[in-house]
Structures are given as structure tokens and as C-alpha cells.
Amino acid sequence: MIIIPMKEGENIERALKKFKRKFEKTGVIKELRGRQVYIKPSVRKRKEKIHAVYVQQMQLNED
């Protein structure tokens, strides 16, 4: 459960912004969207491998 302590006279928009930031860091929405569609483990591994190669190429090009 996310708890946002509010100070006396604090703006409600600021507290809402803090809540949204904390909620996003928990990764609930990202996990929910990931569970909406089943991805086979082989496809997931293939995508991870392709992404790792891409990241490695970007790091090599950076140097």
C-alpha cells in the first residue's frame, strides 16, 4: 500500500504527483500490461537476446 504523508497546507496536486511517481516505480501497470497477452518463453528469450545484441552494439558504437 502506498502512503503519501501530506504536510499541513500542502497542495493536493503536489501530493497527487508524488503518488503517481511512487505508483509508477512499483511497476504494477507494466506488469498488468505484460500479463494481458501470453508470450511463449522461447519468443521472450529471443526478444531478450535481440535486445541484448542491440544494447551491446550501441555501447560499442558509443566508444
pLDDT tens track for 33-48: 989 999 999 999 999 9
pTM above 0.75, yes or no: no
Type and span of the H or E element at 35: helix 28-35
Cell 531478450 sits on residue: 48
- Which pLDDT band, with edges at 50, 70 and 90, does 61 fall under? very high
- Which pLDDT band, with edges at 50, 70 and 90, does 2 fall under? confident
Please write the tens of the pLDDT for every residue from 11-23: 999 999 999 999 9
Q: Angle, nearest 10°, between helix axes 12-26 and 28-35?
A: 50
Residue 34: strand, helix, or coil: helix
